[in-house]
Amino acid sequence: MYPPDLPRMGIVELSAPIRGREELRRLPVIRGELNTLTDPPASANAHPPGLGIALAPPVLLLGLRGSFVFVLLLSVVLVYVSVAAILHELFPPLPFVELCAVMGLVFGWYPVGTTFRSGQPSIVLFALITASWLMLRRNRPWIAGGAIGLATCLHAFPALLVLYFAIRSRRAFVSAVGTITLLSVAAAAVTIQHTFNQWLNTVDMIA
């Protein structure tokens, strides 16, 4: 079903604008959908391998459009739950009308709408960071560190919060580092060789 040389392909091969389109065309799930795309795949992807692994099952099961709808719906739910959790933690219960007004402002904010339309993982990171903040406030540092560790494996910038944990909470720091290590080892085990080297080279290329 899949090309026999697919496991040996790396970011460089799949991200090349021309060759990447031809290689992706060979994949059975998204072959038909590529016929409607006017642009080739992005020439570079600076996200860690963990994000690609997380997106692989939706793409395999739902295709490109189905995966976009899945990420969109997940993002909508996470925005609502995260904002509601922050309001509940910091403020007294809001009347229904005021809650609707706050949610309307959040969902109508241009950066949020742009994230919805582009299918970026920013809202997932926001939800994980919010969960970590809540767990740290409730004296659950192991869960707080795990949430930031997972976020770091999806995007690099939450790693800055690991440094914060090193100062604020040693247990959260250990949990975050342990989570990053375990997930990185797992990612290296299920992907092609030199996955992380290719990711770092890509980051250096577009930085």
Angle between helices 122-137 and 159-168 (to 10 degrees): 10
pLDDT bin (cut points 50, 70, 90) of residue 108 is: very high
The answer to whether residues 114 and 143 touch, using CB atoms and an 8 Å cutoff, is no
Q: What is the pLDDT of residue 196?
A: 72
Q: Which residue has the higher pLDDT, 119 or 110?
A: 110
Six-digit token pair at 148?
């930031």
Which of 21-25, 78-82, 203-207 has the weakest average pLDDT?
Answer: 21-25
pLDDT in tens, 14-23: 444 444 455 5
pLDDT for residue 51 is more than 90? no
Rg (CA), the chain: 19
Tracing tokens 């950066």 back to the chain, one arrives at: 111
pLDDT for residue 87 is more than 50? yes
Which of 24-38, 40-54, 177-191 has the weakest average pLDDT?
Answer: 24-38
pLDDT bin (cut points 50, 70, 90) of residue 144 is: very high
Buried b vs exposed e over 114-146: b needs ≥16 C-beta within 10 Å? ebbeebebbbbbbbbbbbbbbbbeeebbbbbbb
**Looking at the chain, which runs of residues are DSSP E strands?**
none
SS3 content of the chain, % helix, strand, coil (to 5): 75, 0, 25
pLDDT bin (cut points 50, 70, 90) of residue 153 is: very high
Q: What is the pLDDT of residue 70?
A: 94
Residue 101 C-beta-side C-alpha neighbours within 13 Å: 5
Q: What is the pLDDT of residue 136?
A: 94
Percentage of the chain with pLDDT > 70? Answer: 74
